[in-house]
Amino acid sequence: MSKKLPIGVLASGSGSNLQSIIDHIEQGRLDAVIRVVISNNPDAYALTRAKKHGIPFVVIRHQEYPDREAFDGQMAEILLSYGIELVVMAGFMRVLSPQFLKAFPQRVINIHPALLPSFPGLHGQQQAFNYGVKFSGCTVHFADDGVDSGPIIIQAVVPVLETDTEDSLAARILREEHRIYPQAIQFYAEGRIAIRNRQVKIKDLQEFDVPAIHNPPLEGF
């Protein structure tokens, strides 16, 4: 049996990506173990998910700390006490401080509901939809001291349909999030990720030539 990667999950909301990670672990498809879930929101449904699956969880209210560094320091202390090797942000609505990132160098990942570097920050799906792009999607990336600006690990592309609403597009993007986030964690668990400058390289990847996709489809061209 391969070694299980100890991960800590940071979540502020419903935790649907947390649930996907839990499901993949329980199905034996992801070589990881969630040691702790941390939330800054005591009402986050992610905590209910953790409790249901017997995963330890901790609530840390950021309002109770004098500054971001103090809050992040407490989070880092808890994660280190659980022996966490990879920190997974799953809808965590806080920007991490440089102090926190130094405690986990190149060991913090995030998922964003847009094709970075386009449409960073809040409401990535809405930004893309309102801009009128023909393709959107989602991105798993390493966290750095910017906003959604770290090296990209994996992306999924979702076409924007003529009949799409913002909600229908967001739902299709979310389905892809639930696929690529466990895959990114598995790449990390297998020791297959290497960062060269800003480029993330996946070792022993079976590549194949994928034809271009057009939206709307070409008609005779």
Which CATH number does the domain housing residue 178 bear? 3.40.50.170
Q: Which residues are catalytic?
A: 112
One-letter amino acid at 54 equals G
Whole-angstrom CA distances from 141 to 133, 181, 189, 209 are: 21, 10, 15, 23
Report pLDDT for 2: 67
Sign of the torsion angle spanned by Cα atoms 87, 88, 94, 97: positive
Instruction: Determine, yes or no, domain membership for 216.
Output: no
Distance, in Å, from the CA atom of 219 to the CA atom of 221, rounded to the nearest integer, reads 6
Tokens of 98: 């440089």
If one counts the domains in the chain, the total is: 2
For residue 89, what are the β-bridge partners?
Answer: 10, 110
Structural domain range at position 200: 110-204
Looking at the structure, tell me whether residues 44 and 130 fall in a common domain.
Answer: no
Looking at the structure, tell me whether residues 45 and 91 fall in a common domain.
Answer: yes
Looking at the structure, tell me whether residues 46 and 85 fall in a common domain.
Answer: yes
Instruction: Determine, yes or no, domain membership for 209.
Output: no
Instruction: Determine, yes or no, domain membership for 221.
Output: no
Whole-angstrom CA distances from 29 to 2, 4, 6, 23, 149 are: 12, 11, 15, 9, 29
pLDDT digits (tens, 9 = 90+) for 144-178: 999 999 999 999 999 999 999 999 999 999 999 99
- The counts of H helices and E strands in the chain are 6, 9
pLDDT digits (tens, 9 = 90+) for 172-202: 999 999 999 999 999 999 999 999 989 999 9
Which residue positions in the chain have pLDDT lower than 50? 1
Distance, in Å, from the CA atom of 196 to the CA atom of 138, rounded to the nearest integer, reads 22
Report pLDDT for 207: 80
> In sequence order, what are the residues at sequence separation of 6 or more whose Cβ sits closer than 8 angstroms to the Cβ of residue 205?
192
Distance, in Å, from the CA atom of 49 to the CA atom of 15, rounded to the nearest integer, reads 7
Whole-angstrom CA distances from 85 to 70, 200, 216 are: 21, 18, 43
- Output the pTM of the full model: 0.95
Quick count: other Cβ atoms within 10 Å of Cβ 57?
Answer: 18
Among 63, 81, 105, identify where a domain stops: 105
Among 64, 89, 105, identify where a domain stops: 105
- Whole-angstrom Cα Rg for the chain: 18
Among 72, 105, 138, identify where a domain stops: 105
Looking at the structure, tell me whether residues 133 and 92 fall in a common domain.
Answer: no
For residue 155, what are the β-bridge partners?
Answer: 139
Whole-angstrom CA distances from 71 to 30, 34, 45, 111, 137 are: 30, 21, 21, 22, 32
Nearest by Cα to 173 from 187, 188, 156? 156
Report pLDDT for 69: 95
